[in-house]
Amino acid sequence: MSFFRWIFKRNRNKVEIDEGKLPDHIAIIMDGNGRWAKRRGLPRNVGHREGANALRRVVLSCNEIGIKYLTVYAFSTENWKRPKSEVDALMNLLIEFLKSADRELAGKNVRICVIGDVEGLPLNIQKEIQRVTKSTSRNTGLNFNIALNYGSRAEMLYAVKAVADEVKKGKMKIDEISEQVISERLYTREIPDPDLIIRTSGEQRISNFLLWQIAYAEFWFTDVLWPDFNGDILLEAVKQYQNRNRRFGGI
């Protein structure tokens, strides 16, 4: 038994969850890498690297408890506005993460997917995405979705343009446009809507993440900075989710 599994099982006894009421899909806005580094007098890049380590822990935790879908907000369309040095460091870290992901998850049955405007990413990252998604495509455990160069408004605009093009070409009538039609043209068309949204670092906003998909999701916020996030905290979020009454607009 690995050290990680021992810690996880210890924490699992500490935070009891109902395995029959797990959220199918957890989505996470990973926030606080920069502040984590600043508090320690370290460069922001160190915070991003520790954030990548936290992501590995969470992927393993979700897979361990039986979560079917995990979607993480890794790089937004707005993140290009950051200083070039930081963007370059993030791209290098992303390449490193993708190159090692399938090897580190070997035997875990995790399928890796990427959502977002992949064509807007550097060519070397596009190639690595193609490689890692292909190498894990037959896995049937956790579906690990990484949102890269992702913005929800851009996603919805993409879907609307796709529908408008079909109407223009006579492939669809305006009266045939429905919520399902829009959903089937989003980046997440093969992914169920999130049940639980987690945001770290004390921030309580959506930041252009899965705006269409989170209509009835439950939200859980924590002051913990992302590099400090772990399986124990994940279980606490799941426990809080299980204590809520989801009415989906009903009574």
- The catalytic site residues sit at 31, 79
Q: How many residues does the chain have?
A: 251
Which tokens hold the place of 202?
């004390």
What are φ and ψ of residue 185, in 5° steps? -115, 10
Angle at the Cα of 51 from the Cα atoms of 111 and 209, rounded to 5 degrees: 65
Q: Please check whether residue 91 is in contact with residue 123, taking contact to mean a CB–CB distance below 8 angstroms.
A: no
Token pair of 98, please?
């993708």
d(Cα 172, Cα 159) in Å, to the nearest integer? 14
Distances (CA, A) of 62 to 8, 230, 233: 11, 11, 12
- Could you tell me the two tokens for 60? 């393993």
Range 241-250 contact pairs with CB under 8 angstroms and sequence separation of 24 or more: 241/23, 241/195, 241/196, 242/17, 242/18, 242/21, 242/22, 244/218, 246/216, 246/218, 248/216, 249/216
Contact by Cβ (8 Å): 199, 176: no
Is residue 216 a contact partner of residue 250, using CB atoms and an 8 Å limit?
no
Pairing assessment for the beta strands 111-115 and 25-29 based on DSSP bridges? unpaired
